[in-house]
Structure 1
């Protein structure tokens, strides 16, 4: 396991501060190309077959959700928030900028904790982080808002996450999801709140601009 200070050093050495095109108010430590940093991450951890370094990029779903939160601060202002599968922390940082009481960013990749710390510092906010898998337990009762960007890229994971988010909604939490039309995103049973044309890159997506929506899980209907 790489110690936290070494993770910070790795991120600083292999990324640069950039403004995501859909949230230019924010600045993040991001990579320019996915393959080199993916390989370097595997080498640093001495482990082959790792998932992509999601923390090193501002994905379309996260950018859209961050944009929505910045434009609609009432969604999070004064509330206790979870940013699920936080990656770079773009959504968590947007929530803090929008006036959230506090934000817990959660991601099973411990590199995300180092990325979040650096990105939060760059934006003048602070967020808590956990690398525990929140899906292993019921949604925390204290969470008033749960934000989730780009969670439906893999079928088994999408089903688990949607079920977990549904439980949180049933318990009274507001649940907002950012998604650019991933294959396993549910097509029914959600309320569309906004739609954006999010600039991205061929490094990450199949097109340079992704139509990306922000959805809310509705209250359970009788």
Structure 2
């Protein structure tokens, strides 16, 4: 993993250094070779996605207060928001990912940044709430994914958890049951997006 990435600091969160890919194709090919599979999903964990950058920035600035809270970084990718939550004073953080390479990347990035992030191996969707704050960055990019996770996120919110969803304009974002808290531009890479910046909106999910 480290052989196909380089240490870099996301544009919006220079306080955190991560193992990131500079190009998507070489690391994608290396992942397929390592798994001995073809047509696998892109290595989403190897990039600092706009939603995660936005959530990380808000926590480090104190706009989203996670001090002393139990935090879940859902669909964590390489763990950027999870690391930022611990840097911002969270009591504990879990980074949930169904991709084992993403969990490994999160642990690698967490160690590099001097923090400890739990990486549960089970799919947390549907699990009872054991967190105070749930962070979900860039999760509404496909209809099946959105339909799978949103009822659960709403149940967590109804149970009293703070559920924050950061979305950069994905097509399958639900229109109802969320309150926009703010929006701002986040630099992106042409390796992943069709533009150099995405406007990310932070929503509070309602129960």
* Superposed displacement of residue 213, structure 1: 1.3
Structure 2-normalised TM-score?
A: 0.96
Aligned residues of 2:58 and 2:64 also touching (Cα < 8 A): no
Identify the match of residue 193 of structure 1 among 167, 177, 181.
181
What is the CA distance between 1:117 and its match in structure 2? 1.3
Q: Distance in 2 between matches of 1:79 and 1:60?
A: 23
Equivalent in the alignment of 1:146: 134
Offset of residue 187 of structure 1: 2.5
Are 1:73 and 1:98, in contact at CA under 8 Å, matched by a contact in 2? Answer: no
Corresponding residue of 1:156: 144
Q: Which runs of 4+ in 1 moved over 6 A?
A: none
1:211 aligns with 2:199: yes
**Residue in structure 2 matched with residue 91 of structure 1 by the alignment:** 81
Compute the displacement of 1:141 (Å).
2.8
Over the residues paired in the alignment, what is the CA RMSD in angstroms?
1.2
Distance in 2 separating the partners of 1:33 and 1:188 = 36
Deviations 1:23-76 (A, max 9, x none): 111110000011111111011100111111111000111111111111226521
- How many equivalent residue pairs? 207
Structure 1 unmatched ranges of 5 or more: 1-10
Taking the aligned partners of 1:128 and 1:207, their CA distance within structure 2 comes to 34
Against the structure 1 CA distance between its residues 161 and 208, is the aligned structure 2 distance closer, same or farther, given a 3 Å change threshold? same
Partner of 1:171: 159
CA contact (8 A) 2:4 2:26 kept: no
Q: 1:29 aligns with which of 19, 33, 38?
A: 19
* SS state at 2:119 partner: strand
Q: Give the distance between the partners of 2:64 and 2:10, measured in 1 at CA.
A: 23
Which of 48, 52, 57 matches 1:62? 52
Residue 134 of structure 1 is aligned with which of 108, 120, 124? 124
Tell me if structure 2 keeps the 8 A contact 1:197–1:210.
yes
Distance in 1 (CA, whole Å) between partners of 2:180 and 2:115 is 29
Residue matched to 2:6:
16
1: CA distance between counterparts of 2:119 and 2:64?
Answer: 23
TM-score, structure 1 normalization: 0.89
Residue of structure 2 equivalent to 1:117: 107
Q: Indicate conservation of the 8 Å contact 1:68/1:214, yes or no.
A: no
